[in-house]
Structure 1
Amino acid sequence: MNFYSYEYLMSNQDNSRLIKIIVFGFLVAVIGALFFMYLRNRFEIKYKDLGIIFVTTLLLLLAMQYNDYSNLLTTRKQTGQITGTIKETANRLGVKPNQVSVNSTTQTDGLLVDTPKGFFRIDFNSDGSSFVLEKVQLQNPKIKIVRRQS
């Protein structure tokens, strides 16, 4: 069973954004160069056709970027909820938040928490605004704590 540390949840998990920005910038530069070549040689259709291909690719990437952006907003919201829960749990137990790890990256009912004081289960009320913290005993605790990558 994987448990995620507070630092792991707080760190930025999306390393592919830089690669997407580089590809996006490259496509914009290629489209600009093709547009310039087309304006210089208006009678050569190949630059116009290549430009249309690259503009279509750019539009496809823009649509994927928007989808990734909306997913990123949802993930940030869920991560904010779970880190708030970790802070509140640490406060109730009198430990530091970086000593607490949870078994999910999203706020779910029946969330398991690993602390220096033992294992706890969190049960949320119907609207998720408050929770009950209950000490539990795991039968076979084969736990791997996932920490932030440096």
Structure 2
Amino acid sequence: MTFYTYGYLTTHHSSWQYLRIGLIIALLAVFVGLFVYYLRHRWNVKYKDMSIITGTLLLLVLGFQINSLVSLRSATEQTGEITATVKNVAQQLDVQPSKLAVNATTTNTNLLIKAPSGYYRLDYNSDGSAYVLERVQLHRPKVTIVKE
């Protein structure tokens, strides 16, 4: 069973975003350079073809980036929900949030919290607005903790 620490939940971001932004900037620079070169030398058609190919690649990577940003935004909102839940549980258990670990990165109906004093289960009501925190005993737990 995998548990994620509070630090992991608050600092886990995709590092691919920076690489994709760098790729977009590089493709844009190549596209502008090829297109300007084609406009100066209209007799050389290969630069027109290369600028069209580069522009197509630029649009493709830009589409991937927009899709990734939308899914990152959704994941960030869900992570915000789970971190708020971890903070509330930490207040109830009178421990620091950094000492807790949770078995999911999004709120769902089967959340387990690993605290220094043991394992706890969050039992949500039907509309998900409140929960009951109850202590559970795991039989032979094989726990992996993912940290920042």
TM range (shorter): over 0.9
1:31 maps to 31
- Report the count of equivalent residues: 148
2:125 maps to 125
Render the CA deviation track for 1:94-140: whole Å, top value 9, x for unaligned.
11100110011111112000001210000112222211111100001
Letter in 2 for 1:42: R
1:57 maps to 57
1:18 maps to 18
2:75 maps to 75
Runs of 5+ consecutive residues of structure 2 not aligned to the other structure = none
Aligned pair 1:110/2:115, yes or no?
A: no
3-state SS of paired residue (1:134): strand
Residues 126-135 or 109-118, more deviating: 126-135
Runs of 4+ in structure 1 deviating by more than 2 angstroms, as ranges, are none
Q: TM-score, normalised by structure 1?
A: 0.95
3-state SS of paired residue (1:31): helix
Q: Is the 8 A contact 2:10 2:83 kept in 1?
A: yes
CA distance in 1, matches of 2:146, 2:12: 14
TM-fit CA distance, 1:21: 1.2
3-state SS of paired residue (1:109): coil
Letter in 2 for 1:107: T
3-state SS of paired residue (1:135): strand
1:100 maps to 100
CA distance in 2, matches of 1:129, 1:73: 22
Q: Is the 8 A contact 2:17 2:65 kept in 1?
A: no
2:8 maps to 8
TM-fit CA distance, 1:51: 0.7
Q: TM-score, normalised by structure 2?
A: 0.96
Residues 80-89 or 43-52, more deviating: 43-52
